[in-house]
Amino acid sequence: SQTIHQWPATLVQPVGSPLSLECTVEGTSNPNLYWYRQAAGRGLQLLFYSVGIGQISSEVPQNLSASRPQDRQFILSSKKLLLSDSGFYLCAWSTLGSTNEKLFFGSGTQLSVL
Amino acid sequence: ILNVEQSPQSLHVQEGDSTNFTCSFPSSNFYALHWYRWETAKSPEALFVMTLNGDEKKKGRISATLNTKEGYSYLYIKGSQPEDSATYLCAFMWGGNTGKLIFGQGTTLQVKP
């Protein structure tokens, strides 16, 4: 069966510090991978998605970047965090090829930038 | 700008009550409508993926309908139970099977025993 791992669960970082959040998927190959963020009082916003190794699409201009060094690994990074980067970050995966494909989410990372 | 609206924002009901929520989405370039349940301290889990106008889906006491021409979907819970307490998210996929979803802000349901 497929599983998705996301870490860390919580993170408190000072403004200007770097960030690295990691997500890995097991039990499937060539998944589509996504990073979503929920800022306070707002819905889930798609930040990045990837359909393959090294292929990253950014949905919104921001201080963050994403990378996919391996088929089932997705990393969210920042060189210098801003206060506005605070929020709850969710990694998710899905497979294309069917009109009924749903997203499977990780457990999330609560990031507080102080 | 593509926008997905959910109402109400929050709902408090008694155990045994039936309830329903609304999701409004753009009616153009429709591809799919997803419903997810997000319980506290857990990951969001998919309830339904709906693609055809007039679709009705059911999972236990929870059901959903879809009207793509007017751009809305209803989620119904019959005989609410405390374990139904969660935030219910709808998400709209447009323009093709890209996997990219636009989420509403959610409806938070609290069921009191």
CA distance A18 to A82: 10
Closest CB to B43: pick one of A49, A100, A107: A107
pLDDT score at B56: 97
- A28 vs A21: which has the higher pLDDT: A21
Taking CB atoms and an 8 Å cutoff, what residues of chain B touch A99? 31-32, 49, 51, 97
Q: Which residue of B has its CA nearest to A107?
A: B43
pLDDT at A61 over 80: no
Residue with tokens 């709808």: B90
Residues in chain B: 113
* Residue A81 pLDDT exceeds 90: yes
Note the pLDDT tens digit of each residue in B47-103. 999 999 999 999 999 999 999 999 999 999 999 999 999 999 999 987 666 667 889
The reported pLDDT for the residue numbered B1 is 65
Q: What is the pLDDT of residue A48?
A: 93
Name chain A contacts of B101, Cβ cutoff 8 Å: 46, 103
Nearest chain A residue to B4 by CA: give it. Answer: A43
User: Are B43 and A100 in contact (CB < 8 Å)?
Assistant: no
What gap in Å lies between CA B92 and CA B94, rounded to an integer?
6
Q: Is B40 on the interface with A (CB under 8 A)?
A: no
Q: Which two tokens stand for residue A80?
A: 């210098």
Q: What pLDDT, on a 0 to 100 scale, did the predictor assign at position B104?
A: 94
Distance CA A10, CA A49 (A): 22
Q: Determine the distance in angstroms separating the CA of B56 from the nearest CA of chain A, rounded to an integer.
A: 14
| Of the listed ranges A7-16, A37-46, B56-65, B94-103, the one predicted with least confidence | B94-103
